[in-house]
């Protein structure tokens, strides 16, 4: 077989198939491989006219079709299937060739694989891809890790197929070495969890407190999407709210079971944040909210628990409340993104990745699920202050939250008095108040820890680590 293909794709389920088509539509000759050859034939029959494809019946044929340095994108199920495919192709490749994992792998697995393949002279590029099926075909946000050499060869291809930001820039960049790309994609998905939870809470408040119908709420979201909340998730929320179930004629949301599922990346984000010691309570609450929704038996057994009497607002009150919810949603979203970027910064420092946070915000402006207009402002904030300790300390965002906080607090208070659960909004506000507090009650926590476990404490008035002799004369000793 003549080595004519510039890029190969193995694993031709929906995402792999659409990525292969995207490469071909953008002028690259693409080698195609799938464990079951029938799927390769199906792609050729349906989409072979879209570009230059080289179907391969085996891994060996696929490798033979690729030009040096060979670049092969692996799009198979995460875990053991990925390891098996990587081993199969690694045996056939030569030093300098590039293997790309475009699945949702855990970044620690990516680090392990990168180190092992580097020992064999191969470049391994763990690559986060966001945008779903449509993005894979029309242009996703692409977050590759790996070596500088691999980016030099692969970068021009990824830049061609990536989404374009509003200013025309490709939504991809070299994130950093080994697992950096998959780490950033993981945190992207954690922010996505939080964002979706906040939007769901806004809907719940507008329906249960303001008394709005799904169709009316859809119009509210459309209006919000024309302003500072302009984002993909707000846009599709309006469409979901408008949809009517064809079978019953009822609003779509009234026939869907209220149990949200998850695939694990949000949970990984929280687990990793705990390991890094980074507070991401908004993301954690979003993960736990999905977990609570899935405990149908527990929820059913708890329906007898007492709550406040429901009170729907009058029209004037409802209109004012809707405006307050917009303020609360915007402020809470800023907090969620802040927590996500804080985790990326901590991971970058821990693993020596030197991730450019402004560049991350820039490549999320198009293609990905959390793309939003205010990512432009986040990009500019980090460009102006590369060492920005937190998005909340950016002058512009700080001013907006200050302006929103009275309405934000009113929404949280109203939800509490009306018995509407809003863990995302409430957690975001608590995080904001924790950061701005002069003193936190952690001093008492440390006192308790020292009392029962001699865990020691630090003082505000002098250096050192101390322990109080609680069971003796109460004197203090330096530990």
Active site residues: 185, 192
Alpha helices by DSSP H, 178-231: 180-208, 214-224
Rounded distance, CA 197 to CA 422, Å? Answer: 9
Cβ count within 10 A of residue 21: 23
φ/ψ region of 144 (left if φ > 0, alpha if ψ in -120 to 50, else beta) reads: beta
DSSP characters over 318-360: HHHHHHHHHHHHHHHHHHHHHHHHHHHHHHHHHHT----HHHH
Cα–Cα distance for residue pair 127/272, rounded to 1 Å: 18
d(CA 34, CA 39) in angstroms, rounded, equals 7
- Angstrom distances, CA of residue 53 to CA of 39, 117, 158, 389: 14, 27, 18, 48
- Residue 1, class by beta-carbon neighbours within 10 Å (0-12 exposed, 13-18 middle, 19+ buried)? middle
What lies within 8 Å, CB to CB, of 196 at 6+ separation is 233, 286
Q: Which residues contact 81 (CB under 8 A, 6 or more apart)?
A: none
Helices then strands, each counted (H, E), the chain? 19, 9
SS3 call for 9: strand
**Contact of 338 with 200, CB cutoff 8 Å:** no
For residue 202, what are its two tokens? 């806004």
CA pair distance 81, 86, nearest whole angstrom = 9
DSSP string, 244-282: B-TTT-SBGGGTS-S-----SHHHHHHHHHHHHT---HH
């Amino acid at each position: 077989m003549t080595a004519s293909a510039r890029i190969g794709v193995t694993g031709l389920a929906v995402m792999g198939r659409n990525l292969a088509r995207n490469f071909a539509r953008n002028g690259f000759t693409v080698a195609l491989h799938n464990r079951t050859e029938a799927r390769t034939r199906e792609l050729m029959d349906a989409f072979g006219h879209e570009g230059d494809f080289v179907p391969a019946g085996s891994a060996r044929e696929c490798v033979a079709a690729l030009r040096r340095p060979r670049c092969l994108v692996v799009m198979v199920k995460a875990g053991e299937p990925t390891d098996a495919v990587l081993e199969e192709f690694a045996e056939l490749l030569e030093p300098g060739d590039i293997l790309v994992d475009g699945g949702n792998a855990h970044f620690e697995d990516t680090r392990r694989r990168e180190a092992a393949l580097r020992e064999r002279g191969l470049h391994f590029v763990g690559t986060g891809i966001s945008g779903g099926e449509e993005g894979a075909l029309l242009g996703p946000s692409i977050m590759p890790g790996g070596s500088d050499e691999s980016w030099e060869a692969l970068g021009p291809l990824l830049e061609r197929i990536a989404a374009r930001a509003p200013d025309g820039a490709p939504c991809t960049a070299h994130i950093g070495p080994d697992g950096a790309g998959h780490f950033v994609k993981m945190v992207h998905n954690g922010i996505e969890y939080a964002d979706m939870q906040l939007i769901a809470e806004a809907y719940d408040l507008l329906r249960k407190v303001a008394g709005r119908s799904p169709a009316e709420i859809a119009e509210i979201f459309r209006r919000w999407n024309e302003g500072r909340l302009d984002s993909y998730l707000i846009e599709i929320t309006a469409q979901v709210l408008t949809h009517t179930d064809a079978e019953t004629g009822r609003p779509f949301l009234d026939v869907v079971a209220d149990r949200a599922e998850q695939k694990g990346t949000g949970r990984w984000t929280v687990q990793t944040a705990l390991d890094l010691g980074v507070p991401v309570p908004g993301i954690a609450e979003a993960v736990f909210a999905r977990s609570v929704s899935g405990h149908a038996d527990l929820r059913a057994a708890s329906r007898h628990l007492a709550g406040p009497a429901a009170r729907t607002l009058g029209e004037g009150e409802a209109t004012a409340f809707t405006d307050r919810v917009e303020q609360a949603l915007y402020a809470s979203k800023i907090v969620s993104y802040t927590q996500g970027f804080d985790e990326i910064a901590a991971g970058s420092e821990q693993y020596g990745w030197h991730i450019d946070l402004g560049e991350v915000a820039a490549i999320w402006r198009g293609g990905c699920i959390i793309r939003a207009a205010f990512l432009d402002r986040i990009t500019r904030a980090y460009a102006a202050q590369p060492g920005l300790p937190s998005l909340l300390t950016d002058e512009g965002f700080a001013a907006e939250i200050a302006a929103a906080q009275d309405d934000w607090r009113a929404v949280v208070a109203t939800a509490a008095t009306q018995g509407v659960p809003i863990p995302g909004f409430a957690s975001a506000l608590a995080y904001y108040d924790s950061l701005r507090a002069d003193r936190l009650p952690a001093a008492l926590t440390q006192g308790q820890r020292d009392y029962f476990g001699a865990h020691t404490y630090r003082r505000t008035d002098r250096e050192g680590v101390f322990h109080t002799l609680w069971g003796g004369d109460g004197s203090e000793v330096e530990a």
